Amino acid sequence: MKMRINPLTIKKINRFKSIRRGYYSFILFSIMILLSIFAEVMVNKRALIVKYEGSIYFPIYRSMIPGTTFGFDYEYETNYRDLKKKMQEQKNGNWLLMPPIPYDPFENDLREGEYPPYPPDITTQHYLGTDTIGRDLTARLVYGFRICIFFSLILLVLTYMIGVAIGCIMGYYGGKFDLIFQRVIEIWTNVPFLYVIIIISSIIVPSFWILILIMTFFGWISMTWTMRTITYKEKEREYTLAAKAMGAGDMRIIFRHILPNTVSVIVSYIPFAISSGIMVLTSLDYLGFGLPPPTPSWGELLNQGWENMHAWWIVASVIVAMLVTLTCVTFIGEAIREAFDPKRHTIYE
Amino acid sequence: MKQTLKLKWFGIIFLSFLIFLPLCSANPSLPDNIKWLTNDTDPVYASENAQKGGTLRLSLLSFPMTFRTVGPDSNSSFRGYILNNQLSLTDIHPNTLNVIPGLATHWAFGDDKKTMYFKLNKNAQWSDGKDITASDFAYTLEFMRSKHIIAPWYNDYYTKEIEKVIIYDEDTLAVVSTKAVPDLHLKLSIQPTPSHFYKNLGKGFVRKYNWKIVPNTGPYQIGKFKKGKKIEFKRKKEWWGKDLRYFKNRFNVDKVLFKVVKDFNIQWEHFKKAKIDTFAVNLPKFWHEKCKTPVVDKGYVEKIWFFNDKERSANGMWLNEDKKIFADKNLRYAFAHAMNIEKVINLVLRNDYYRLEQHYVGYGKYSNDSIKARRFDIEKVDKYMKASGWQRGSDGIWTKGDLRFSVNVNYSFQEHTQRLVVLKEEAKKAGIELNLLKLDPAASFKKVLEKKHDVAWSAWSTALRPQFWEHYHSANAHKVQTNNITNTDDPELDKMIDMYRNSLDEKERIDLALKIQEKIYEIGSFVPTFMVPYIRQACWRWMRLPEIPGTRRSDGLFDPFDSSYGGLFWFDKTIYDETKKAMKTGRTFTPVTIINETYKMKTIR
């Protein structure tokens, strides 16, 4: 079956592509996400490939290989950087390939007589330096980005599902349901949700999913108002009446007719929701109420940077990383809004 | 009729007898075999060079909510400054730990092991000029037992622990404990309360005395104060105690000024601007990094590192024996051997901290110094784990059946994250997974007291003698809200602890204390971590200290009031003028860092 794309949609996509700033930001952002999914291959303390005594190992996507396998005298995970040094000294045909950044975000690379944070240094391959406990900054940034972006995407999907559904139902059915939910939402909006999260996470330590759950609990409201208004409007349009006259059920009307016509509005809100998701997680981590340590996180790095201003590389790299990400998202958002501008495509009779 | 009259007369006589009987016996006499003790032979620790005059300027993080020392909101750190100016009957020599005179010049122990007799110093006076008499101590009991002061803990303590005060004459009294206890002087050396000041306690006590300045007995009294901003203590020029052996050459500055500066980092800025005279720089970050600042480099500010020798708080990891994993002794040992505390000390804490070897370090003869904490050793971990039939799983973590050696560690301070992540990475090598749970201090404490933790990363404060019962007796195990957070439950240990608690013989108690500590080590439910056996201070060079800047038990070198070790410093006007001039002209001095190890603990030398 060939995928049919609505000519209107094609038009919108072309329009989006023509807005250069947004389009390139979109490409850059997609690449960042795609790369972050495979972060293990680029930023890792485990080697990509090891050839040892005739056999080949791929240590990354598998359980750990104890040091004894490679002739060390310990049973815990092999230190591949040491192994590399050892192989270079022995020169007996064994070799291994390390990822470009040979550290993972949890290990402390501490040295005698010197105290972290260590400044950026090419010889030790800490390209952005280390944080206050000697963990590689690049690794923390990359893995922090991955957690942050997926947190924000999952949050987005959940809040929008709930928000859009409730908003639609409110607008479509109206009446008592609408009235009651309006009041519920008004009350809900007045709950200072950041404080609630802070209180909750000082009592229990939130995991990734608990944090998402709590935030969804308070985050779904924002979409309902908009959806309610649009549905109200679309409900009165001729095509809806026509569908109704032909005997279509409520569900069919909502899902087949009304929702597709509101997509452009929903889509234009998405980038801003993503950036706010990133901001909320970062600020919670900054305050120490977010994901539990030692989870790599931008907020925690920001906090470290603030407390150790003399270690400029910490604060500088986090701020640059945040700046790039948030600017990208904002540019994409602007471009989408422009491309999907209803004034350009909808013709009112 | 006559009969009733007769009865009436009889009744009156009987009643008056009842009333007069206690009055007749109101002047009890001292026991005959009483042996008065005093102490005028222990070494003095203040400096002959001390000069009187000048001001010490310090800072407070917040203004106290009241000047009362009992009742609601009174339990702030500022209360210590007020209470330190209210002397007790006797004190403790901060170097020899012997009893030394306070308000009493002589004391004696009763044969019943629960009474102590005191002879008051005849010159001792309240700050308002009234004499201190034995009845002021009797009034302490009345005051502390009063419902009007709204202090249930004190109500309870002075009822259940102190039985009575007996007045023999104006200057002689006895204080009686409800039960015989060892080290009686620590308990019975109470403070007087000015009955002439309070007169009748009433319902309005809490509000009425919020900002009243109560007459005191110590060297300083609160002078001017501005709520929310500053408080000034003034030295009593004609203080009754100023020439006594252990008070001479102490309490030298004329004024002690506390300014409210609400942020620690801003206090540091004030200090650098010479608006505050001294600053505690115990934290490695302050000592090593923040002190690299012009005022220190130019020698205007001096650094002092002073080792003291006193009880160390029990910092460490408390393993909950009620959890399946830690019920096995081998696993507790393995856990202890998997904690690389030495690496944290060397590489994170700049070798500034020391390894705490066991729960009771620094208790003098009561400490068992032969106990050494279990060191990081993967081979020993392997040995213990294999002995209990565990194996390493595919991720390197030990497993047995559906159990996995993965435990939660509760903690509550952001600064400790650094230390814990290093421990976590090292423990992984040994096959143990630590999950770090940072909770708000109150929430964390609650969870631990409810015994819901696997491992609690926390500390207990200290007392002059080791307290075993609350931490290790089975009477406190498997119950919520008790201090036995390891749920240690060992019949043999119980027996020794009971004996220790009931013994009044010092030698036997010391003997038992050492054995109990060995047993606790053998049980292995506490993994000791760090101790900080010193104080580090920065001060402007015009604040001078004796040659040995502190005492064995000093908690700070610039404590202005503490009756036992406070007020050893003085203000040197000539150095002040010289420094101020030098700062204007740009002249510099050689930077000074004093390291004094006179009282450094033997075990860490």
To the nearest whole Å, the CA of A69 is away from the closest chain B CA by: 13
Tell me what the mean pLDDT of segment B76-102 comes to.
93
In the structure, what pLDDT confidence band is assigned to residue B23 with cuts at 50, 70 and 90? very low
CB B531 within 8 A of CB B314: no
A114 Cβ contact partners less than 8 Å away, ≥ 6 residues apart: none
Give contacts of A132 with chain B, Cβ < 8 Å.
418
The secondary structure element, H or E, covering residue B280 is strand B278-280
Among A72, A108, A109, A295, the strongest candidate for a mutation testing the B interface, having the largest count of B CBs within 10 A, is A108
Give contacts of B430 with chain A, Cβ < 8 Å.
76
Q: Do B425 and A110 touch (CB under 8 A)?
A: no
Percentage with pLDDT > 90 across chain A: 39
pLDDT tens for B353-405 read: 999 999 999 999 999 999 999 999 999 999 999 999 999 988 889 999 999 99
> Hunting for tokens 């709950």 — which residue is that?
A191
- Please tell me the least confidently modeled range out of A66-70, B226-230, B470-474, B486-490: A66-70
To the nearest whole Å, the CA of B444 is away from the closest chain A CA by: 8
In the structure, what pLDDT confidence band is assigned to residue B350 with cuts at 50, 70 and 90? confident
Q: What is the pLDDT of residue A348?
A: 53
pLDDT tens for A120-135 read: 988 888 999 998 888 9
Domain ranges for chain A: 7-38+139-345, 45-98
Percentage with pLDDT > 90 across chain B: 80
Tell me what the mean pLDDT of segment B283-299 comes to.
90
> Hunting for tokens 């996400």 — which residue is that?
A33
Residue A272 has pLDDT above 90, yes or no: no
Domain B104-208 has CATH 3.90.76.10: yes
Comparing CB atoms, the residue among A63, A74, A115 nearest residue B378 is A74
Comparing CB atoms, the residue among B350, B396, B436 nearest residue A76 is B396
Tell me what the mean pLDDT of segment A235-239 comes to.
88
Give contacts of B443 with chain A, Cβ < 8 Å.
202-203
pLDDT tens for B34-49 read: 999 999 999 999 999 9
Q: Which of A84, A16, A196, A133 is nearest to B419 (CA)?
A: A133
Contact of A288 with chain B, judged by CB distance below 8 Å, is answered with yes
Give contacts of A110 with chain B, Cβ < 8 Å.
343, 347-348, 422
Tell me what the mean pLDDT of segment B462-484 comes to.
92
Q: Do A76 and B428 touch (CB under 8 A)?
A: yes
The average confidence (pLDDT) of chain A is: 88
Among B265, B347, B434, the strongest candidate for a mutation testing the A interface, having the largest count of A CBs within 10 A, is B347
Residue A347 has pLDDT above 60, yes or no: no
Kindly provide the residue ranges of all beta strands, DSSP E only, lying in A21-123, ordered along the sequence: 49-52, 55-57, 95-97
Comparing CB atoms, the residue among A108, A115, A205 nearest residue B350 is A115
Integer-rounded Cα radius of gyration of chain A: 26
Cα B374 to chain centroid distance, Å, stands at 28
Domain ranges for chain B: 104-208, 314-531
Give contacts of A130 with chain B, Cβ < 8 Å.
none
Partners of residue B55 on adjacent β-strands: B255
pLDDT tens for A66-108 read: 888 898 888 888 899 989 988 888 888 888 999 999 999 998 8
Q: What is the pLDDT of residue B284?
A: 85
To the nearest whole Å, the CA of B442 is away from the closest chain A CA by: 9
Half-sphere exposure in the Cβ direction for A195 (13 Å, CA): 3
Neighbours of A126 (CB within 10 A): 25
Q: Do B421 and A63 touch (CB under 8 A)?
A: no
Cα A139 to chain centroid distance, Å, stands at 16
A346 Cβ contact partners less than 8 Å away, ≥ 6 residues apart: none
Residue A186 has pLDDT above 60, yes or no: yes
ipTM passes above 0.90:
no
The secondary structure element, H or E, covering residue B96 is none
Comparing CB atoms, the residue among B350, B418, B437 nearest residue A292 is B437
**DSSP one-letter string for B372-426:** -PPPP-HHHHHHHHHHTT-EE-TTS-EEETTEE-EEEEEE--GGGHHHHHHHHHH
Q: What is the pLDDT of residue B138?
A: 95
Among B290, B383, B404, B439, the strongest candidate for a mutation testing the A interface, having the largest count of A CBs within 10 A, is B439
Q: Do B436 and A132 touch (CB under 8 A)?
A: no
Q: Do B421 and A293 touch (CB under 8 A)?
A: yes
Q: Which of B555, B568, B599, B602 is nearest to B282 (CA)?
A: B555
Top mean-pLDDT range of A2-6, A85-89, B461-465, B510-514: B510-514
To the nearest whole Å, the CA of A204 is away from the closest chain B CA by: 7
To the nearest whole Å, the CA of A261 is away from the closest chain B CA by: 47
A174 Cβ contact partners less than 8 Å away, ≥ 6 residues apart: A232
Q: Do B396 and A66 touch (CB under 8 A)?
A: yes
Contact of A270 with chain B, judged by CB distance below 8 Å, is answered with no
Which tokens sit at B101?
Answer: 């005179």
To the nearest whole Å, the CA of A238 is away from the closest chain B CA by: 57
Chain A 203-222, CB below 8 Å of chain B: which residues?
Answer: 203-205
d(CA B299, CA B592): 6
Comparing CB atoms, the residue among B343, B394, B437 nearest residue A63 is B394
**Burial annotation B110-142 (CB, 10 A radius, 16+ → b, else e):** beeebbbbbbbbeebbbbeeeebbbbbbbbbbe
Q: Do B347 and A134 touch (CB under 8 A)?
A: yes
Give contacts of A66 with chain B, Cβ < 8 Å.
392, 396
Q: What is the pLDDT of residue B356?
A: 96
In the structure, what pLDDT confidence band is assigned to residue B13 with cuts at 50, 70 and 90? low
In the structure, what pLDDT confidence band is assigned to residue A115 with cuts at 50, 70 and 90? confident
Give contacts of A73 with chain B, Cβ < 8 Å.
none
Q: What is the pLDDT of residue B1?
A: 43
In the structure, what pLDDT confidence band is assigned to residue A35 with cuts at 50, 70 and 90? very high
Give contacts of A293 with chain B, Cβ < 8 Å.
417, 420-421, 436, 438
Q: Name the residue in chain B with its Cα closest to that of A287.
A: B414
Tell me what the mean pLDDT of segment A8-26 comes to.
88
Q: Name the residue in chain B with its Cα closest to that of A133.
A: B418
Q: What is the pLDDT of residue A349?
A: 46
Contact of A107 with chain B, judged by CB distance below 8 Å, is answered with yes
Q: Please, what CATH class does the domain formed by B314-531 belong to?
A: alpha beta
To the nearest whole Å, the CA of A300 is away from the closest chain B CA by: 10
Give contacts of A208 with chain B, Cβ < 8 Å.
none
Computed from CA positions of residues B548, B551, B552, B557, in that sequence, does the dihedral angle turn out positive or negative?
A: negative
> Hunting for tokens 């901003």 — which residue is that?
B229
CB B458 within 8 A of CB B448: yes
Contact of A306 with chain B, judged by CB distance below 8 Å, is answered with no
The average confidence (pLDDT) of chain B is: 91
Q: Name the residue in chain B with its Cα closest to that of A113.
A: B347
CATH code, A7-38+139-345: 1.10.3720.10
Top mean-pLDDT range of A200-214, A277-291, B397-411: B397-411
Give contacts of A106 with chain B, Cβ < 8 Å.
421, 424-425
Q: What is the pLDDT of residue A308?
A: 82
Q: Name the residue in chain A with its Cα closest to that of B265.
A: A307
d(CA B135, CA B138): 5
> Hunting for tokens 């279990």 — which residue is that?
B374
In the structure, what pLDDT confidence band is assigned to residue B295 with cuts at 50, 70 and 90? very high
Neighbours of A153 (CB within 10 A): 15
Residue B90 has pLDDT above 50, yes or no: yes
Give contacts of A112 with chain B, Cβ < 8 Å.
346-347
Cα B398 to chain centroid distance, Å, stands at 41
Tell me what the mean pLDDT of segment B346-352 comes to.
88
Integer-rounded Cα radius of gyration of chain B: 28
Q: Do A132 and B428 touch (CB under 8 A)?
A: no
Residue B2 has pLDDT above 50, yes or no: no
Partners of residue B318 on adjacent β-strands: B456, B526
Using beta carbons and an 8 Å cutoff, which residues of B are at the interface with A? 288-289, 343, 346-348, 350, 378, 382, 392, 394-396, 414, 417-418, 420-422, 424-425, 428-431, 435-440, 443
d(CA B395, CA B373): 28
Give the sheet arrangement for strand B455-460, strand by strand: B433-438, B406-411, B455-460, B314-319, B526-528
Give contacts of A108 with chain B, Cβ < 8 Å.
347, 421-422, 425
Tell me what the mean pLDDT of segment B196-223 comes to.
92
d(CA B358, CA B342): 15
Q: What is the pLDDT of residue A41?
A: 92
In the structure, what pLDDT confidence band is assigned to residue A345 with cuts at 50, 70 and 90? low
To the nearest whole Å, the CA of B397 is away from the closest chain A CA by: 9
